[in-house]
Amino acid sequence: MSSANEFFVPSPLFGERSRVFSWIRKGTLALTDQGMISGSNFAISVLLARWFAADRYGAYALAFAVFLLVSQLHQALLLEPMSVYGSSSFRGKLRHYLGALLWMHGGTVALISVLLAAAGLGVFLTGHSVVLAGALFGVSLASPGILLFWLVRRSFYLELQPASATQGAVLYCALVLLLLRSANSFNLLSPFTAFLIMGMAALITSITFLRKLKPITQLSLNELSLSETSSLHWAYGRWALASSVAMWIPTNLYYVLLGTSSGMAHAGELRALMNLALPVGQTATALSLLFVPYAARARVEQGPQSLRKISLAITALFALGAIAYWAVVVMFRGSVVHLFYGGRYSEISTFVPLVAASSIFQTCINGPCIALRANEMPIYVFYTYLVSSVITVGGGIISTKLFGVEGAVVTMLVANVCAFLIAQLMLSRNARPVLVVSAEAA
């Protein structure tokens, strides 16, 4: 396992080169890991768009959006604080810390599954859409496995070791694509079974790789109190939860608006359009898994003032990558849409430049937000996305109702530009020293 000295102690030229090569290797593995996950998610989205009718694909997209909303509880209370505290306060007790997190995971996913099942039952009883109800039931059954997989993958990044996470991603990708293909061959594929397949593949992969982490789950042997760990996570995670919900709104509310006002087919069109942004978003997510623990360590070793420089470098990296990707996609957008969807959804190619601009700003928001999270200031991340959410709710409802998919895309762009500017302002005003919580005090 890597130590903090590897990253922060000045070294001779040979040591500096080794450090650079180490980061190149870690970054490459992190990109490979997320590339496999995003690649499988992208492949699932594209394949289901080709195999399903537009209304069935819209039901899948809407159910997935609801899952992302409810899963913010898990993201905010477990995963996000874990990236900060696991790389700072609990670095010397990771096996104990992971054991406590697994107990917290069990209670959280039970609540999430119940909420999703209740949503499916509500849709079924109202007769709104039987397909949507089935999709919600499917994702309620799949969510424990999917969220456990997210937790296991994130654990390997606490010591900046993405190699094992990459191996897990390869296994998951192979399993989910093989099972989806088999289900489609036997005419068993539906939104319900698609989610079951994702959950099954995630659960198998999680159980396989938990053996490498060796968490101490027996509370009698665990040196960390479950109640105290939960309290520490709640102190951080309550604002992370608020920011996660605010983050969900600008991206996913439009599926609900289109599905209720224009029909599931229009929600499917928007999902097909936003699939093109997945490679950029998932790449930023991959690097964020590596950068948040690194920034948290840098804050402890070098002080909060180092976070501004780190944020600027991350923002520049994300901006250049996003611009390079979208330059190619926008130039050949007609061919790209035809290639992915086999002649379907050709009308969405007109909106690709707007989605490109929106995606670039959305990706760059990660730079200052990574620094704010590492500085244990999730409240300011919440303020950033609150602005975006207000714009979405205030303008998105009207623009979507009047102009459909085009209105949704334009409002996304405005919201992301404003959020990026607010994030920069929050970081410039709040990169200040904070109290570092030790493992003993925690």
- pLDDT tens for each residue of 199-227: 999 999 999 888 888 887 776 665 666 77
Looking at the domain assignment, is residue 70 inside a domain?
Answer: yes
| Averaged pLDDT for residues 425-439 | 59
Looking at the domain assignment, is residue 437 inside a domain?
Answer: no
| Averaged pLDDT for residues 4-20 | 46
pLDDT at 17 over 50: yes
User: What's the CA gap between 64 and 18, in Å, rounded?
Assistant: 42
Under 8 Å between Cβ of 290 and 157:
yes
Higher pLDDT, 394 or 180: 180
Nearest by Cα to 119 from 104, 107, 134: 134
User: What's the CA gap between 98 and 219, in Å, rounded?
Assistant: 12
Looking at the domain assignment, is residue 218 inside a domain?
Answer: yes
What is the DSSP code string of 26-52?
HHHHHHHHHHHHHHHHHHHHHHHHHHS
- pLDDT tens for each residue of 24-41: 666 666 666 666 666 677
The greatest distance separating any two alpha carbons of the chain, rounded to the nearest whole angstrom, comes to: 69
How many CB atoms are closer than 10 A to CB 117? 16
* 201-205 contact pairs (CB < 8 A, 24+): 201/145, 201/172, 201/175, 201/176, 202/142, 202/145, 202/146, 202/148, 202/149, 202/172, 202/176, 203/144, 203/145, 203/148, 203/149, 204/171, 204/175, 205/149, 205/152, 205/168, 205/171, 205/172, 205/175
Looking at the domain assignment, is residue 436 inside a domain?
Answer: no
- pLDDT tens for each residue of 63-72: 888 898 888 8
* Cβ within 8 Å of residue 282, ≥6 positions away: 34, 35, 37, 38, 41, 42
Number of domains in the chain: 1
Looking at the domain assignment, is residue 440 inside a domain?
Answer: no
**pLDDT value of residue 348:** 77
User: What's the CA gap between 377 and 427, in Å, rounded?
Assistant: 10
pLDDT at 436 over 50: no
238 is in which domain, residue-wise? 6-430
* 97-101 contact pairs (CB < 8 A, 24+): 97/224, 97/229, 98/155, 98/213, 98/215, 98/216, 99/215, 99/216, 99/217, 99/218, 99/222, 99/224, 100/222, 100/224, 100/225, 100/226, 100/229, 100/230, 101/151, 101/215, 101/229
Using only C-alpha atoms, the chain has a radius of gyration, in whole angstroms, of: 21
Looking at the domain assignment, is residue 182 inside a domain?
Answer: yes
pTM, rounded to two decimals: 0.63
| Averaged pLDDT for residues 31-58 | 75
Mean pLDDT, rounded, of the chain? 80
Looking at the domain assignment, is residue 438 inside a domain?
Answer: no
pLDDT at 84 over 50: yes
Nearest by Cα to 24 from 320, 287, 251, 405: 287
Under DSSP, the state recorded for 223 is S
Looking at the domain assignment, is residue 150 inside a domain?
Answer: yes
Residues shown for the chain: 442
Question: If pLDDT is split at 50, 70 and 90, which confidence band does 92 have?
Answer: low
**End-to-end alpha-carbon separation of the chain, Å?**
23
Question: If pLDDT is split at 50, 70 and 90, which confidence band does 2 have?
Answer: very low
- C-alpha angle 109/115/117, rounded to 5°? 100
Q: Distances in Å between the alpha carbon of 434 and those of 231, 303, 378?
A: 19, 9, 13
**pLDDT value of residue 261:** 62
Per-residue b or e along 217-227, where b marks 16 or more CB atoms closer than 10 Å to that residue's CB: beeeebebeee
Which of left, alpha, beta for 420 (phi over 0: left; psi -120 to 50: alpha)? alpha
Which of the residue ranges 117-121, 265-269, 320-324 would you say has the lowest mean pLDDT? 265-269
Nearest by Cα to 215 from 310, 135, 96, 298: 96
pLDDT at 192 over 80: yes
* Cβ within 8 Å of residue 44, ≥6 positions away: 176, 177, 180, 194, 198
Encoding tokens for residue 224? 């960390």
Question: Torsion angle, CA of 59/64/69/75, rounded to 10 degrees?
Answer: 170
Nearest by Cα to 292 from 114, 83, 109, 88: 83
Under 8 Å between Cβ of 61 and 184:
no
- pLDDT tens for each residue of 356-411: 999 999 999 988 988 888 887 878 888 888 888 888 888 877 888 777 778 888 88
User: What's the CA gap between 76 and 400, in Å, rounded?
Assistant: 29
**pLDDT value of residue 137:** 94
Please name the residue that has the structure tokens 């899948």.
60
